[in-house]
């Protein structure tokens, strides 16, 4: 699998999505930020997005350990993301 980082693609605005990614708990520690905006190709999958960010930040969680939320609701990993969506990868919770 290839991870591309192509500024040139941004000129084709129809194929670019800006995704806000929020981080919590150990993912925030590892990303060293609360949130970032990521520009990705249209129809980028959630799995692709996590793999990219995982390589960038060195996340210790594998995707199988995480849940994912889109726009403040839990989502399935197979759900499509849209331009402007907010995405959060949810590491194992420990409330209660």
- Residue 45's nearest CA partner among 6, 11, 19 is 19
Can you tell me the distance from the alpha carbon of 86 to that of 37, in angstroms, rounded to the nearest whole number? 9
Residue closer to other proteins (CB basis): 59 or 91: 91
Answer for which of 11, 64, 73, 84 binds other proteins (CB under 8 A) is: 73
- Name the residue with tokens 């190709």: 41
Q: Which is nearer to other proteins, 25 or 84 (CB)?
A: 25
Site for other proteins contains 77 (CB under 8 A): no
Q: Does 63 participate in binding other proteins (rule CB under 8 A)?
A: no
């Amino acid at each position: 699998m290839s991870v591309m980082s192509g500024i040139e693609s941004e000129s084709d605005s129809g194929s670019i999505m800006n995704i806000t990614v929020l981080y919590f708990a150990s993912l925030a520690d590892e990303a060293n930020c609360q949130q970032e905006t990521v520009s990705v190709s249209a129809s980028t999958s959630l799995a692709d997005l996590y793999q990219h960010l995982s390589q960038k930040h060195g996340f210790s969680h594998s995707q199988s350990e995480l849940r994912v939320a889109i726009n403040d609701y839990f989502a399935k990993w197979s759900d499509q993301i849209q331009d402007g969506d907010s995405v959060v990868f949810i590491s194992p919770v420990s409330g209660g």
